[in-house]
Amino acid sequence: MEEVFSLQVSEVDFENNEVHFVHNGRRRLKKEFHVRTIPLWPQLKPILQAHIKKHGLRRGDLIFPAENGGMLQDARGSLDAALALGEVDPTNVNFHSFRHTYATVRLQTLDHGAPVTMFTVARELGHQGVGELEKRYGHILKRPTRSEGVEYVDRKGQQEEA
């Protein structure tokens, strides 16, 4: 979670719809000159823009600072509160779950019209190769479902319609 907790406004490229994780004073990457780039999902873009505007954040500011203005150190309480709002059992959900979800969903998307490769996802996650991804997520590639973006289903809404 250090990557998200240390995310600065300057690392979000709204024009190109990308997030660039770079070595900074709060975050270390394997090498100082490394940059890891991931797509900025269309659904997240207006949410982040509104958040940045609402809080008057500037280029070097943290997007999600702690109350004291520094970097968040532990957000488990916030995660538990969000899970409770969504009526989700927190027993098997942790911050690493989001990484797993990202990898799973990313393998089911398209990149400029072509299926995203395991190499691309491995690079976005900071892996040197695809071995770990093949072991954990290889079964995903057997599913033909691919889309340009990520679609989120409002399960409560579906239940109400049913």
Give pLDDT tens digits for 59-105.
989 998 888 888 878 788 888 888 898 888 888 888 888 888 888 88
Structural domain of 30: 1-73
Helices (H), 18-89: 44-54, 76-85
**Residue, of 137 and 158, whose pLDDT is higher:** 137
Q: How far apart are the first and last CA of the chain?
A: 37
Q: Is residue 83 assigned to a domain? A: no
Asked if 56 and 10 sit in the same domain, the reply is yes
CA dist list (Å): 115 to 111, 112, 125, 146, 153: 6, 8, 17, 7, 22
* Residue 123 CB-density burial (10 A; 0-12 exposed, 13-18 middle, 19+ buried): middle
Nearest to 125 by CA among 107, 143, 111: 107
> Which range has the top average pLDDT, 56-60, 112-116, 138-142?
56-60
Confidence band of 33 (pLDDT split at 50, 70, 90): low
Q: How many other C-beta atoms can be found within 10 angstroms of the C-beta atom of residue 160?
A: 8
Asked if 15 and 68 sit in the same domain, the reply is yes
Asked if 9 and 65 sit in the same domain, the reply is yes
Confidence band of 9 (pLDDT split at 50, 70, 90): very high
Q: Is residue 160 assigned to a domain? A: no
Q: Mean pLDDT throughout 125-137?
A: 83
Confidence band of 160 (pLDDT split at 50, 70, 90): very low
Q: Is residue 99 assigned to a domain? A: yes
Q: Is residue 120 assigned to a domain? A: yes
Q: Are strands 110-111 and 35-39 parallel, antiparallel or unpaired?
A: unpaired
pTM (two decimals): 0.69
The single-letter DSSP state of residue 117 is P
Overall number of domains in the chain: 2
Confidence band of 1 (pLDDT split at 50, 70, 90): low
